[in-house]
Amino acid sequence: MSEPQFNIVFYGITQPDKDRDTVLQNMASLFKTEPAKLASYFEGGRKVIKANVDELVAEKYRIALENIGLVIKIEATVDEAATEKPADTPVESPSTAQPQEQTQAASEPDEAEQIDTTGISMAEVGADVVEHPVEVTPQAIEDISDISMAEVGANVIENPVEVTPQAIEDISDISMAEVGANVTEHPVEVTPQAIEDISDITMAEVGVDIVENPKEKEKAPEPDISGLSLE
């Protein structure tokens, strides 16, 4: 069984914290070509940077390309032996069969979409391959030779904000109420609603219809059956 082969694929996506133009310039420097020749790779779509390499080489390419800001995907190539048709498969008619050149072009990456990587060697893992990094001006630091570190857990705030504690009066005569007791000293007074004399009111029996004047239900009109007979 042959060793699995892989394609190094780029979909035009750069890492979120990377500038697109800087990544393009770094990629051109890595492959020793002009940035204009690689601009189409950043317009989206599937682009094969290197095809049919083993897993070790594919991983080296991925590390190098991601170090300069690309988002790389490693895709396994299709095993042609596993996709061959059985010997007893009927031969397609000329009207439905595709030319050999067209079938081969559909299964293999477009050569025009690949980058010429001949003569390129891979840098060691962890090497800085960015030739044009973004320049960051270092901040000027004054003399700190007289500065020492405080002990772990020490309070290093020299001038903490002073909080004046609230004055509390004498509470020695205060005791706690029992659990569940109503401690509201001045509850909201609710005026009860005035109820007239109801001494002459009695309760009806359970289930009694207490509607005195129910609405009469309309009865369906009776059909005229004078002309009907049982004969």
Higher-pLDDT residue of 61, 79: 61
Of 65, 76, 84, residue with least CA distance to 24 = 65
**pLDDT by residue (tens digit) across 24-52?**
999 888 888 898 888 889 988 898 988 99
CB 78 within 8 A of CB 107: yes
Q: Kindly tell me the sign of the dihedral angle through the C-alpha atoms of 40, 41, 45, 51.
A: positive
Q: Is 116 helix (H, G, I), strand (E, B) or coil?
A: coil
Of 105, 171, 55, 206, residue with least CA distance to 63 = 55
Supply 225's token pair: 């059956």
CB 49 within 8 A of CB 38: no
Of 98, 101, 117, residue with least CA distance to 32 = 117
H helices present in 41-166, as ranges: 55-67, 100-107
CB 109 within 8 A of CB 7: yes
pLDDT at 196: 82
Q: Residue 96 forms beta bridges with which residues?
A: none
> Which DSSP symbol is given to 40?
G
The residue-averaged pLDDT of 200-216 equals: 78
For every residue of 133-159, DSSP letters joined together read: PPP-PPPP----TT--PPPTT----SS
Supply 95's token pair: 């009207």
pTM over 0.85: no
**pLDDT by residue (tens digit) across 86-130?**
544 444 444 444 444 444 443 444 444 556 565 556 666 666 666
Note the CATH number of domain 1-79+113-118: 3.30.1390
What is the Cα Rg of the chain in Å?
45
